[in-house]
Amino acid sequence: MSPRVERSSPPYIQVTDHYRSQIQDGVLAEGDRLPAVTAIAREWGIAHATAAKAIQQLQVEGLITTSPRGSFVAAQSARATSPVDRLVRARRTGSSAAADEHHIVMAAGLVTPPSYVADLLDLEPGAQVVRREWVSLEGKLPRALTVTWYPAYMADPVPTLLSTDNGDVRHLTAQLDAAAGPIKRGRDFYHARGADRREANALGLPVGSAILAGAWLLWSGADDLVEYGETCLPPRSTVSYPYEVPGEVTEGDTL
């Protein structure tokens, strides 16, 4: 069945979202050629200029490269997965991982958290949390080192939280989303810095190499903080995801 444009967002955004998902999910692999602009316009029933704008957006995001021969999926080193990418993919496919992505779990268990994590999760002194740490890879290429923290009570409805099975990481986001009720909102933070020894070893980099460090928080519909995560990405990683901007700011509103 041919794709059809919906009216909830601009047509070029819908086309961009479609191909972005295929690239991030691994359906389109590095070096694969995208359809020509003319073919996209015909398939989606949109203007040639609209299809061209969608391709331009993918190029801006670093997901494709364009030449006189056509548009091709960019090298893996240019792409990275954001927290919202994993959540949306888990809801769409049941797995948070791309087709060519796998994980090495280095730790999963109940621990006493550092004070800043305890404060974020609003825990009493001495309370424990679930801590997980893993490396994500595409083939043999390290893509991210990730640590996530969860309230201890989440280990009952989601026993996978305490699993060190490498394959369990793929389905953890979907299980967490279902058990928490589901996830309704989140917030991401990113900053660039040098890699410490632990991060450099995990990503195969010299100590002090430039990395993109991120953190995120996910809340359930009941407004409970369900997950706090930290990740670091190797150089030349591009994080890209769509978002909607709230309505116009009126007098008396603060930013």
CB 157 within 8 A of CB 151: no
Residue 147 pLDDT exceeds 90: yes
Residue 61 pLDDT class (50, 70, 90 cuts): confident
> What was the pLDDT predicted at 79?
64
Give the distance between the most distant pair of CA atoms in the chain. 62
CB 226 within 8 A of CB 154: yes
What class is the 78-233 domain?
A: alpha beta
**Mean pLDDT computed over 95-114:** 90
Beta bridge partners of 72: 33, 65
- Alpha helices by DSSP H, listed for the chain, are 11-25, 37-44, 48-60, 83-93, 115-120, 169-180, 197-203
Question: Mean pLDDT, the chain, as a whole number?
Answer: 87
CA separation, residue 9 to residues 43, 244, 251 (Å): 18, 10, 27
Lowest mean pLDDT, pick from 95-109, 114-128, 146-160, 204-218: 95-109
Residue 118 pLDDT class (50, 70, 90 cuts): very high
Q: Give the three-state DSSP class for 185.
A: strand
CB 147 within 8 A of CB 229: yes
Phi and psi, residue 191, nearest 5°? -150, 155
- The percent of residues in the chain predicted with pLDDT above 90, rounded, is 54
**Mean pLDDT computed over 109-117:** 96
Q: What are the sequence ranges of the domains in the chain?
A: 11-74, 78-233
> What was the pLDDT predicted at 190?
93
d(CA 97, CA 170): 5
**Mean pLDDT computed over 138-159:** 92
> What was the pLDDT predicted at 242?
65
- The percent of residues in the chain predicted with pLDDT above 70, rounded, is 89
> What was the pLDDT predicted at 219?
93
For 10-42, letters b (16+ CB in 10 Å) and e give ebbbbbbbebbbbbbbbebebeeebbebeebbe
CB 250 within 8 A of CB 204: no
Residue 223 pLDDT exceeds 80: yes
CB 75 within 8 A of CB 81: no
Residue 77 pLDDT exceeds 70: no
Question: What's the count of helices (H) and strands (E) in the chain, helices before strands?
Answer: 7, 8
**Mean pLDDT computed over 12-40:** 89
Lowest mean pLDDT, pick from 30-34, 134-138, 236-240: 236-240
Two tokens, residue 1: 């069945």
Q: Is the peptide bond before 235 cis (omega within 30 degrees of 0)?
A: no
> What was the pLDDT predicted at 76?
65
CATH tag, 11-74: 1.10.10.10
